[in-house]
Amino acid sequence: MSSILITGGAGFIGSHLAEQLVKAGHNVVVMDNLFLGTEDNLKAIRESIVFYKHGYEDKAFLLGIVKKHRIEYIYHLAGYSSAPMFDGKEAHGMMMNVVGFIGLLDVCRDMNVKRLMYASSSSIYGDAKFQVEDAKVKPPNFYALSKYAMEHAARLYFDLYKVQSIGYRFFSVYGRNEVHKKQFANLISQFLWAIEAGKDVVIYGDGTQSRDFIYVLDLCNALILGMKAGECYARAGVYNVGTSETFNLNDMIDVLEEMTGKKALRKYVANPIKNYVTVTKADTAKAKRDLGFVPQFSLKQGISHLVSARKIIHS
Ligand SMILES: NC(=O)c1ccc[n+]([C@@H]2O[C@H](COP(=O)([O-])OP(=O)(O)OC[C@H]3O[C@@H](n4cnc5c(N)ncnc54)[C@H](O)[C@@H]3O)[C@@H](O)[C@H]2O)c1
């Protein structure tokens, strides 16, 4: 049993991870300023965790928490979690994601935290043809740039101070507990909500753009494997976390229709987004080789799981 801190633990991915870690018997501390997430996401485990409503960028506070709870591992999921959040707030977004992260790395070093696992993003790749970890990348927006800078800060902290870390380039993650993200939620969730409500499913362009969708429980498994991996895999390396399969939006909507038994009202509109990515597809060989990560949920299985979970919540 370990003592684990999750920053951003009231968010979509963080709340799932907290559930999985509690289930595995760990002591879990969650720190989230509720900028976007909600304590409701932690309802099922609220009695089993310690929760702090606080910004992770407050280094003195963070240090106090790590000391008080003798934190051994940190999962860092807090921050601006998607590209549009940076619109008009580029400098603040970089402060939150990058400067805050450097403070967190300081705390890991000063408190001898065993290992840090943190969220990077596949958005770093932009429209790169080969989405493999050692590809030369050109981050297409400030969100991606913040993740790229985080990866390099982690590398420096390993090189200079031997702070162990693993960065994860999450691909398109979907699952329950995404309602708080509203327009920033994964397209699977947004389209599912529209289908359930009988509203238009708005698709940019012709719907042939494709994404590597990964179910949130698979992602949590990849994160947990990172904590257990040998030291040689925690030297500030980065790992793709996807399925290595890609589905276009039209096919994804077909699966939603099949799993809900409802027809989607598809509405195709001109794409208003600059630097829009047309294909994401993870090369997952490195995560498989080093972490032993193999996703278990196909798109159909993941969506079916999500649809059932929502039925239970609403019944
Ligand atoms: N969901 C995806 O598909 C996806 C893909 C790639 C990367 N990521 C990354 O994964 C991480 C988690 O994403 P998510 O989808 O769960 O998003 P989310 O917005 O639901 O979770 C982020 C959480 O961090 C909290 N937060 C924000 N700023 C904070 C701060 N300064 N201090 C403490 N808490 C703060 C928010 O309140 C929220 O609960 C993010 O770093 C995101 O960039 C997500």
Per residue in 168-191, pLDDT tens? 999 999 999 999 999 999 999 999
Region(s) of the chain under CATH 3.40.50.720: 3-173+214-242+286-291
Residue 272: DSSP 8-state: -
Nearest to 172 by CA among 114, 241, 111: 241
Split at pLDDT 50, 70, 90, the class of 4 is: very high
What is the number of the ligand 1 atom nearest to the C-alpha of 14? 16
Q: What is the mean pLDDT of the chain?
A: 96
Distance (Å, whole) CA 241 – CA 106: 26
User: CATH code for 175-211+245-281+297-314?
Assistant: 3.90.25.10
Average pLDDT over residues 91-114: 98
Q: For residue 60, report the distance from its CA to the centre of ligand 1, in Å.
A: 21
Instruction: State the average pLDDT over residues 293-304.
Output: 98
pLDDT value of residue 312: 72
**Block residue for tokens 């990866």:** 151
Nearest CA to ligand 1 atom 40: 81
CB 236, CB 155: distance < 8 Å: yes
Between the CA of 11 and the centroid of ligand 1 the distance, in Å, is: 6
Q: Which of 267, 259, 262 is nearest to 305 (CA)?
A: 259
CA-wise closest residue to 75 among 50, 108, 42: 108
Residue of 7, 61, 77, 85 best suited for mutating to test ligand 1, as the one with most atoms within 8 Å of CB: 77
Q: Which residues line ligand 1 (CB under 6 A)?
A: 7-8, 10-14, 31-37, 55-57, 77-79, 81, 96, 100, 119, 121, 170, 172-173, 181, 186
Residue 11 pLDDT exceeds 70 = yes
**For ligand 1, what atom is nearest to the CA of residue 13?**
16
Atom 41 of ligand 1, residue of closest alpha carbon: 77
Residues 6+ apart with CB under 8 A from 248: 207, 208, 209, 210
Ligand 1 mutation pick, 19, 81, 145, max ligand atoms within 8 A of CB: 81
Ligand 1: centre distance to CA 175 (Å): 14
Across the range 246-255, mean pLDDT stands at 98
Going edge to edge, which strands form the sheet with 49-52? Answer: 49-52, 27-31, 3-7, 73-76, 115-121, 165-170, 235-241
**CB burial readout 24-34, b (16+ within 10 A) else e:** eebbbbbbbbe
Identify the H or E element spanning 27.
strand 27-31
Q: Does 142 score more than 70 pLDDT?
A: yes
- Dihedral, 113, 61, 6, 44 alpha carbons, nearest 10: 140
Question: CA nearest 3: which of 32, 31, 25?
Answer: 25
Residue with CA closest to ligand 1 atom 23: 8
pLDDT of 315 reads 64
Q: Of the candidates 193, 183, 176, 187, which has an alpha carbon nearest to the alpha carbon of residue 209?
A: 187
Distance 261 CA to ligand 1 centre (A): 31
Atom number, ligand 1, closest to the C-alpha of residue 180 = 20
Asked if the model's pLDDT at residue 127 lies above 90, the reply is no
Domain with CATH 3.90.25.10 in the chain: 175-211+245-281+297-314
Mean pLDDT, range 59-80, rounded to an integer: 98
On whether the 3-173+214-242+286-291 domain is CATH 3.40.630.40, my answer is no
- Average pLDDT value for residue range 228-246: 96
The closest residue, in CA terms, to atom 11 on ligand 1 is 77
Kindly tell me if the per-residue pLDDT of 311 is higher than 90: no
Name the band, by pLDDT with cuts 50, 70 and 90, for residue 314.
low
Q: Which atom of ligand 1 lies closest to the CA of 123?
A: 6
Element (H, E) at 49: strand 49-52
254-282: per-residue pLDDT in tens? Answer: 999 999 999 999 999 999 888 788 999 99
